[in-house]
Every structure is written in C-alpha cells, then in structure tokens.
Amino acid sequence: MTSNPRPVRFLAAGDTALVVEFGDRVDRAISDRVIGLADAVVARAIPGVVELVPTFRSLMVHYDPLRISYADLEATIAPLLDGIGVVRHHGRRFTLPVAYGGVFGPDLEEVGERTGMSSEDVVRLHTSVAYHVYAIGFLPGYSYMGDGPAELSLPRRESPRLRVPMGSVSIAFRQVGIYSLESPGGWNLLGRTPVRLFDTRRQTPVLFAPGDEVRLEPISPDRFHQLAAEAAAGRLDLHPTGETA
C-alpha cells in the first residue's frame, strides 16, 4: 500500500481531545506516522496530556483543558510532525500459538471453499506472514492487525454470531482480529489462541500495542488445552521474541 498524500489535519473531539489525522484509509505508512507521533508526544511530556489513542489513521490526544488549551496543545504538537519520520519506532515481536479449525475455527472450511483452497493451505497461508498491530479497540485488548494475504481477503459474515469465544482469531478483508473477550462478532473465525490478550492480573493488562509485530504458530488441540489451563491459572506469559527492525 502507498501512503495517503492528504495533508495532516488537526480536529477537535469535544472539549478534552484533539485528533491528528494523517489519512483516510488503512495504510502501513500512515500507521507508522501515527505511532511515530505518539512516541514523540510521550517523549515531549506535554503538561496536561492525559492519554494517547493511536488508530489506523489518526492519533487522539486526550488532555486536561484546565492545564492546557486546545490551541496551545496544537501549537506544541505541530512541530513534532517534522521529526516523526526520522526516529524509527521499534515495536515488539511476538509469536502467538493458535489452534485452527474445528471448534476453535468453525469458519475455516468455508473460508477454504470460498477461496478455492484446502483448510491446510488456508492455515499455511494465514501463518506465513508477520502481522502489524494497527490499533487496539472495540474490546479491551482487542487487536486489529494486518495485512493478511490477499488470497484470504473475504468480507465479514452476513450473519454475525451472538457469542464469539475469547481468543478467537478471525479475518475480514485483509485484517486479522483477535477477540480478547467473549462478545458478539461478525468476522470469519479461523482458530483460537489460549493466550489472554487482556488479563487484569498482569501488570500491563493489554498484551499487544500498536506497532507490535505478531506471527501466528499452529498448535494441536491438546496443546491448546494445556496452555489454556495455564492461562486460566495466570501462569501463561507471552514474552516478546525481539524488536521490529
């Protein structure tokens, strides 16, 4: 994908948030700029900034209007845009175990039929790439990742499910979504991970962050149940295997 040349826009979101918008589509280059600006704002330690929310195409900056005005915040952030392409963001690399098909991925066979592949080829292709974490949202810890192989690009299901199990690994178009909690959902379910993407027992409850890189590793049902038991007991920790280049 190529970056969107549209100029950066500053937008007000109510009276306590400022949005810096870089584009209007899902684009890795845009995501890199969003994450780069978030890093720069953190490094600048601007008084009054409360929270940063990186999204696919923009950065929302929550602030305390009693400590800094919208105009002053924009004036402080604007010069940081010049340097966000200079210092490269180094996310973390993870390998996430996933049990595919059957009760873990009830849509795997249908995805194979719709793409003209066997279930084995779908799994092979789905695990052949490293996924970029674009954003966290919808549910606490829910990870929106991309970009999946074009051969597996399918729309959402026509009929959403009322209950999607925690840990379900799903696809829609070229995105991968991992359900951090049980919830309704309309994406195509390929598998399930025993790792808890959101766990309040951890010092940092949300496992992934925008800019991280995630590879998916197929595991057997027996291995899934073993790791799920460890996760339920709070003994399963997924550690980074390195940093992105």
Task: Tell me what pLDDT residue 199 has.
Answer: 96
Task: Tell me what pLDDT residue 220 has.
Answer: 98
Question: What is the rounded distance in angstroms from the CA atom of residue 122 to the CA atom of residue 214?
Answer: 18
Task: Tell me what pLDDT residue 85 has.
Answer: 66
Task: Tell me what pLDDT residue 83 has.
Answer: 77
Task: Tell me what pLDDT residue 4 has.
Answer: 43
The reported pTM is: 0.90
Task: Tell me what pLDDT residue 2 has.
Answer: 45
- Return averaged pLDDT per consecutive 10 residues of the chain, 245 residues in all: 67 96 91 94 96 96 97 97 74 96 97 97 97 94 95 94 97 96 97 97 94 97 97 93 80
Question: The tokens of 91 are what?
Answer: 């996310």
Question: What is the rounded distance in angstroms from the CA atom of residue 43 to the CA atom of residue 161?
Answer: 42
Domains of the chain: 9-83 (3.30.1360.40), 92-243 (2.40.100.10)
Task: Tell me what pLDDT residue 119 has.
Answer: 97
